[in-house]
Structure 1
Amino acid sequence: MELTGKRLVVTGGAGLIGSVLSNRLAVDNDVLVVDDLSNGIRKSVPDGVTFVEGDLTDRSLVADVITEDVDGVFHLAAADKYVDTDEPRAQFEANGEMTYNILERMDEVGVSNIAFTSSCTVYGEAGEPTPETYGPLEPISIYGATKLADESLLSVYGHTHDFTVWTFRFANIVGPRFGAGVVPDFVEKLDANPETLTILGNGKQEKSYMHVEECVDAMCHIVEHADEPVNIYNLASQSTTSVDRVAEIVSEEMGLDPDYEYTGGERGWTGDVSTVLLPIDKLLDLGWENELSSDESVRQVAREIIDLLD
């Protein structure tokens, strides 16, 4: 789908990725953002887009924002992955209901293009490189289970309802926003206490970190160049970074040399996958390539977040 002159709906458009995506799309398209602001920030929604605050589990709201003149939906809204230990049923039900409501309404009014932000958590704890064909998919968190369930539902609509579906399995996407992952967490902790940094787990967790601007660029490239009924792509840097190395980079950028304290164990939290290795051969074959390594993505975001402290 060419991303020019279209009317597009972005769910979760006030979030870290959604706000950057909305800003990118609004250059050449008419964009409507819908977000309940449970995870998003209103001021992050760019100028020049229509904003609707609301809950996508409400079918009447979905009917209001997805109309016959919409050309495509970018579905990023989801109950946050870091809260699933408190209300797992609520998270699972909300994510599934939002996705079903959107697909059902799209089918009703003849809108057939949808891009969906999934997650590498659908692979579970594979401990080895996981291309898009990897299986079986055995998530270990409720968040991962919701994403896999949504992927299955999207597959149905792609194969039997003449939809075109783009599904993105993200690595760790990092950007300049407090409360959005390990990099801002370390900056905030060291700003409060420059002497000691508490690290969840054992610090050896190894994952790919991708800058949000590159993530959005890759998303748009895939939507414009992949046209199968169901298109599934890993989005990641072509390298990985340990949590200890993230701590070192953040400390270096802040000019600090703190002692590290560990909570222990291989996981940072319940459901955390300690090793994530995402090949992006499919994305490379589509003609897109990273400019930043995983370490460089972490360093750039650390600088951007530190600047926000001033």
Structure 2
Amino acid sequence: MRDKRVLVTGGAGFIGSNLANRLAEYNEVVALDDGYLGTPENLDDGVEFVEASVVDEDLPTDVDVVFHLAALSSYAMHEDDPTRGARVNVEGFVNTVDQARQDGCDTVVYASTSSIYGSRTDPSPEDMDVTVNTGYEASKMARETYAEYFHNHYDLSLAGMRFFSVYQGYGGAEEHKGEYANVIAQFADDVANGRSPKLYGDGRQTRDFTHVSDIVRGLELAGDHRLQGIYNLGTGESYDFVTVVDMINDELGTDVEPEFVENPIPDDVYVHDTCADASKMREATGWEPQIDFEEGIRRVCEQYT
């Protein structure tokens, strides 16, 4: 993407700041964030930062493309305050898209979630039946439904991206998130500092871990191609948590054993396994993940060696 004016909501957060910094190399980028999970320290000098909430009036939506990543982005955040979760994730989405529409922007790329697929070891395609078991998942499904409305009623292009377990190490935009940081960053920091990573149950739950740089490329391609509909962003390969800790130990030359603890999340809402079928995104844009998991682990561990 080049020579565009772009808004990234949640733009000072983990994925948002990575996206904003990449796009700012060739575009005019505004990063909007309320500071809950993000900090302007994550942003390069070439990014314009606006401190505001997506539920505010008069958002800077006079742009060519909106990347809407702002959200309460986990089960725990929503269960603490379901009303706030719906306000930020649903009302904030509708408010941002509608202001963009009124300002003449017809292209929106937004964050959905792969959690709605439930627990699956087989790759999950976008057209499979999905279920909603948490407020977080409900809010993301509501986004997808409102996106369909905006497309059908106003002819906007809205691409909902279902992310699969996005990761990066500490030292970057994840550090500010603390307990809400991705598990790869948390595990690596624990092992590097001689602490036992806490694994739920037997640690054999699996995730399709996707490096943030691949997610960012997918988002950019979705905006470039003005995609419409729902698209997965994931690698199609999964690793269990015990294996992840072993790989981190191998990379760091350590021998820190994990601690197995009871899962605090109820079994009927905990997603045990995930795996992406990203063929739709591949066919639409040519997107392929470029960082395999072994390379991703090396990148995560570099700061400790």
TM-score, structure 1 as length reference: 0.88
In structure 2, the partner of 1:291 is: 290
Q: Comparing 143-152 with 101-110, which one deviates more in the overlay?
A: 101-110
**Structure 1 residues 260 and 64 mapped into 2: Cα distance closer, same or farther (>3 Å)?**
closer
Which ranges of 4 or more aligned residues in structure 1 deviate by more than 4 Å? Answer: 265-270
Within a 5 Å distance, the mapping from 1:66-215 to structure 2 comes to 66-67=61-62, 70-81=63-74, 82-126=76-120, 128-135=122-129, 137-176=130-169, 177-178=174-175, 179=178, 180-194=181-195, 196-215=196-215
In structure 1, the partner of 2:221 is: 221
Q: Distance in 2 between matches of 1:6 and 1:106?
A: 15
Contact 2:107/2:226 (8 A) holds in 1: no
Q: Distance in 2 between matches of 1:268 and 1:253?
A: 33
* Identity %, equivalent residues: 28
Q: Distance in 1 between matches of 2:17 and 2:122?
A: 32
One-letter amino acid of the counterpart of residue 272, structure 2: S
Deviation for aligned residue 1:271: 3.6
Give the paired residue count. Answer: 295
Q: Distance in 2 between matches of 1:300 and 1:145?
A: 35
Q: Distance in 2 between matches of 1:110 and 1:302?
A: 40
Q: Deviations over 1:66-110 (max 9, x none)?
A: 13xx11110000013142232223212221111011122122222
**Structure 1 residues 269 and 189 mapped into 2: Cα distance closer, same or farther (>3 Å)?**
farther
Q: Distance in 1 between matches of 2:230 and 2:78?
A: 25
Contact 2:199/2:258 (8 A) holds in 1: yes
Q: Mark the runs of 5 or more structure 2 residues left unpaired by the alignment.
A: none
Contact 1:166/1:231 (8 A) holds in 2: yes
Deviation for aligned residue 1:218: 1.9
**Structure 1 residues 166 and 36 mapped into 2: Cα distance closer, same or farther (>3 Å)?**
same
TM-score, structure 2 as length reference: 0.89
Q: Distance in 1 between matches of 2:252 and 2:246?
A: 10
**Structure 1 residues 269 and 246 mapped into 2: Cα distance closer, same or farther (>3 Å)?**
farther
Contact 1:200/1:267 (8 A) holds in 2: no
Q: Distance in 1 between matches of 2:278 and 2:217?
A: 14
Contact 2:10/2:31 (8 A) holds in 1: yes
In structure 1, the partner of 2:298 is: 300
Deviation for aligned residue 1:223: 2.4
Q: CA RMSD in A?
A: 2.2
Quick one: which of 44, 52, 64 aligns to 2:50? 52
Contact 1:208/1:239 (8 A) holds in 2: yes
Deviation for aligned residue 1:272: 3.0
**Structure 1 residues 190 and 268 mapped into 2: Cα distance closer, same or farther (>3 Å)?**
farther
Contact 1:267/1:274 (8 A) holds in 2: no
Q: Distance in 2 between matches of 1:166 and 1:16?
A: 20
What's the secondary structure of 1:217's corresponding residue? helix
Deviation for aligned residue 1:190: 2.8
One-letter amino acid of the counterpart of residue 287, structure 1: G
In structure 2, the partner of 1:240 is: 238
What's the secondary structure of 1:32's corresponding residue? strand
Q: Distance in 2 between matches of 1:302 and 1:269?
A: 30
**Structure 1 residues 151 and 43 mapped into 2: Cα distance closer, same or farther (>3 Å)?**
same
